[in-house]
Amino acid sequence: MNSSAFPRKIVFICSILASLWHLSGAITLEITSPMAPPSWALMERELLRTNATACEEFFSKYFDERGYLLCIERWGGDDGPDDAIENVADWPILHALGGDDSILRMYRKAWEGHLKQYTEAKTVDVPFARDGMYYKEFPVMMDWMHNGEGLRVFNLQGLSDPYNLDYQKRVRRFAGFYMNEDPGALNYDYEHKIIKSMFNGSRGPLMRKTTGLDWAGDPIEVENRFHLVHGERNYDEMLAHFKDYNDILGDHPQNLSATTLALNAYILTGEEKYRKWMLDYVDAWLDRMEANNGIIPSSIGLDGTIGGETDGKWWGSVYGWGFTVVVPQNGELAHRTRVYRAVDGFGNAYLLTGDRKYIDTWTAMIDIVNSNARVMDGVKHYPYMYGDEGWYDFKPEPVPWGTLNSWFWTMDEKDKKRVSSDPWVRFLDGKDPDYPVRELGKDFSVIRDRVAEMRADTTTPDTRLSDDPMKYNPATVQTLNKLMMAGLDPGRGAAPLHCRVRYFDPENRRAGIPKDVAALIDKVSDDELRLTLVNVSQTHARELILQTGAYAEHRIDSIDTGDEVAEVGDPTVRIKLAPGCGQRLVIANKRYALQPRMDFPWDR
C-alpha cells in the first residue's frame, strides 16, 4: 500500500496485529504532503543541536571523568549536594525532547558521580552528616525545598532511562523511605498521616528544633575565596542567615514534594501500595485545608493538629505563611514562605486520578488569599504572607502560585482567566502567532551568553562551591517543551513532567523526537489539541511514535487530518513522514483516562 494508490494526501494503515499491538502504534499515519520547513521547525532542530554542543563543553569544564563536580563539597542550605546535581537540571527534558544521546550519558554520569561524591563527603560539626552527607544514595535528612532540588534530575530520569536497573532499585528504595519500609528511616506516621519533620531523609526525621549550624553547614573560609549566592560575606553571616530556622517538627506543605517518589514507584511498577500511600497523604492535606477555612496550614503537629508544634498558629514553622527573617548583611526583612511548593503534590494526585478536587481546592485557596486585597495608593495590592497581625507583604500582582499549572491541568476557562496574560497562553489562544520564532530566538541568545560567561569563569575547584556553575548551565528547554510537547516546566520542586504529548524514536529505540523532525502545538483544550509535524529532511523519511501524556495517561480518540478522521482509542500512534513533508493534525483526546506508566510504547 502506498500513497499513489489513494488520492488523499494522508493514508492510514490499520495493522492486522492491532489486537496484539496495544499501545505501540496499532494505527500508522503516513504523512506525504510536501511542506517547506517553517522557520520554527529549523530553529527547533538547531536549538536541540546547539543545546547538546553547549552542554558537552559545560560538562567537560565542571565535571571529572568520575562524574564528580569539581568543587568544594559542603553540607547546607547555601550550597550542598542538591546544588551539585542541579548543575545538570533540565538535561533530562532536553534528552526526552530529542536531544543527542550524549545528554543522557552525561547527566547519568553526573548523577552517579555525585551520589558517590556526597556519600564520601562528611561533616565535622553538623551531627547528622558526619558519616556521609548521603546515606543509601539519598540525603541523610534535609527539608524538601533542598531535597526536591536535589532530585530534579532523578525524578525525570525515567522519561528516557526507565530500564536502568540502578534507577529502578532507587525508585523503590526512595519511596520506601517515606512508607516506613526501611526501619532506619521511619519518616511517616500512618496514624496521623504526617511526615514527622521538615528535616527528613534516609536516616529518618530530625526530631528536634534545628540550629543555624544544621542549615549552614560546617565553618568555612569565605572572604577572598567564595562568592555566596545569598550574599553572606563570612561564616558568621551564614549562621545568622539561618538563626531563626528552628521550627521544623511536624508536617509542612513542602513535604508534599515527597509524593513524587511514590508516584515514580507506581508509574514504574504499577504496585497499588504506592498509589494508596500517595493519595492517603494528599487527601489528609485536603482535610487540613478544609479544617483551616480553605487555607493550607504550614504547621502540623506531631499529634496531627494544625499548629500543634507552633503554639496553635497555622501559619507557623520555617518556610511557613509567617516566616519572615532578617537579612544579616543589611538588616532588611525577607519574606520566605514556601507553602507554594505543595501544588506539586496536588498535581501528582491529579495525574493518578483526574479528580478535580485536588486542583479546585488549590485554586479556591488562591482566590481566598487574593480576596484579602487592599487598595494602597490607589492600586489594589494582594497579600503573600500571614502572621500574628493577619495578612501582610502586599504586592500589586495577585498571588500566582500554581495558577498556570492549575489551568493546564483543568483546561477550565475560570482557571485560564488567572493566566490569560501569559505569553504562552496568548499564543495558544491564537493572539500571538510570532511567539514561537521570537521565543526560540531568545533561547539562542541565552545559550550564547551562558557559554561566553562559562568560558570567562576563572574559579578553580578549590574556590568553587557546588552552586557556582549553575548560572552557566546552558540547557535551555522551556520554549521547546511548550512548543513541542505543550509541557509545563517541572520547576525546582522535583515534580514529574506534565505534558500533552511526547515523542519516541522507534528506529533508535529511544525517547525523543527523531532526527530532522520538528513539532508545534498551537492550540489546546480539554479534549483536543492541534499539532503540526514536519520532516525538514528533503532526502530521508522519518518515523516516530506519538504518545499523549508524559506517561501515557491520556487517550487519543481520533485524529483529523483535514481530509479524513481516523479513530484511534489508544495513547499512541505511529507516524511516518515522507521526505520534506508535514501536516497539521487535530487530535481529539480524553485526558487522564488511563493510569500512567513509564515503559516505552514498543514494550507494552
**What is the pLDDT, as a whole number, of residue 551?**
98
pLDDT band at 21 (very low <50, low <70, confident <90, very high): very low
CB-based burial label for 378 (10 Å; 0-12, 13-18, 19+): exposed
pLDDT at 231 over 60: yes
pLDDT at 19 over 60: no
Q: Report the C-alpha gap between 156 and 93 in whole angstroms.
A: 7
Across residues 140-162, what is the average pLDDT? 98
Q: List, edge to edge, every strand of the sheet that includes 10-14.
A: 10-14, 27-31, 572-577, 542-548, 501-505, 510-511
Q: Which amino acid is at 271?
A: E
**What is the pLDDT, as a whole number, of residue 230?**
86
Across residues 518-543, what is the average pLDDT? 98
In the block, cell 513509564 appears at 598
Describe the chain by its helix, strand, coil percentages, rounded to 5.
Answer: 35, 20, 45
pLDDT digits (tens, 9 = 90+) for 581-594: 999 999 999 999 99
pLDDT over 70, % of the chain: 96
Question: 3-state secondary structure string, 468-495?
Answer: HHHHHCCCCCHHHHHHHHCECCCCCCCC
Q: Which amino acid is at 476?
A: T
pLDDT band at 13 (very low <50, low <70, confident <90, very high): very low
The per-residue b/e assignment along 115-126, b for 16 or more CB within 10 angstroms, e otherwise, is bebbbebebeeb
pLDDT digits (tens, 9 = 90+) for 166-197: 999 999 999 999 999 999 999 999 999 999 99
pLDDT digits (tens, 9 = 90+) for 423-476: 999 999 999 999 999 999 999 999 999 999 999 999 999 999 999 999 999 999
pLDDT at 6 over 90: no
pLDDT digits (tens, 9 = 90+) for 384-430: 999 999 999 999 999 999 999 999 999 999 999 999 999 999 999 99
- Of 45 and 13, more confident: 45
Across residues 212-218, what is the average pLDDT? 98
Nearest Cα neighbor of 153 from 447, 442, 495 is 495
pLDDT at 217 over 60: yes
pLDDT band at 26 (very low <50, low <70, confident <90, very high): low
Q: What is the mean pLDDT of the chain?
A: 95
In the block, cell 543541536 appears at 49
Question: 3-state secondary structure string, 270-306?
Answer: CCHHHHHHHHHHHHHHHHHHHHCCCCCCCCECCCCCE
Strand partners, 533: 519, 583
Residue 526's contacts (CB-CB under 8 Å, 6 or more residues apart) are: 410, 411, 412, 591
Residue 559's contacts (CB-CB under 8 Å, 6 or more residues apart) are: 29, 565, 566, 568, 573, 585, 586, 587, 588
pLDDT at 1 over 50: no
pTM, rounded to two decimals:
0.95
Contact 334, 352 (CB under 8 A): no
Residue 118's contacts (CB-CB under 8 Å, 6 or more residues apart) are: 73, 81, 84, 132, 133, 134
Q: Which amino acid is at 4?
A: S
**What is the pLDDT, as a whole number, of residue 229?**
86
Q: Residue 62 — left, alpha, or beta (φ > 0 → left; ψ -120 to 50 → alpha)?
A: alpha
Nearest Cα neighbor of 403 from 389, 417, 391, 390 is 417
The per-residue b/e assignment along 251-261, b for 16 or more CB within 10 angstroms, e otherwise, is bbbbbbbbbbb
Across residues 513-540, what is the average pLDDT? 98
In order of start, what are the domains of the chain with their CATH numbers? 43-472 (1.50.10), 500-603 (2.60.40.1180)
pLDDT digits (tens, 9 = 90+) for 360-369: 999 999 999 9
Nearest Cα neighbor of 486 from 534, 428, 535, 445 is 428
Please state the φ and ψ torsions of residue 234, each to the nearest 5 degrees. Answer: -160, 175
The per-residue b/e assignment along 279-311, b for 16 or more CB within 10 angstroms, e otherwise, is bebbebbbebbeebeebbbbbbbbebbbbbbbe
**What is the pLDDT, as a whole number, of residue 10?**
36
pLDDT at 48 over 50: yes
Q: Report the C-alpha gap between 447 and 165 in whole angstroms.
A: 33
Strand partners, 566: 559
**What is the pLDDT, as a whole number, of residue 18?**
33
C-alpha cell at 574: 505511529
pLDDT digits (tens, 9 = 90+) for 311-333: 999 999 999 999 999 999 999 99
Contact 140, 201 (CB under 8 A): yes
pLDDT at 280 over 60: yes
pLDDT digits (tens, 9 = 90+) for 112-134: 999 999 999 999 999 999 999 99
Contact 538, 508 (CB under 8 A): no
CA distances from 412 to 10, 404, 406, 417 (A): 33, 11, 9, 9
Strand (E) or helix (H) holding 438: helix 435-456
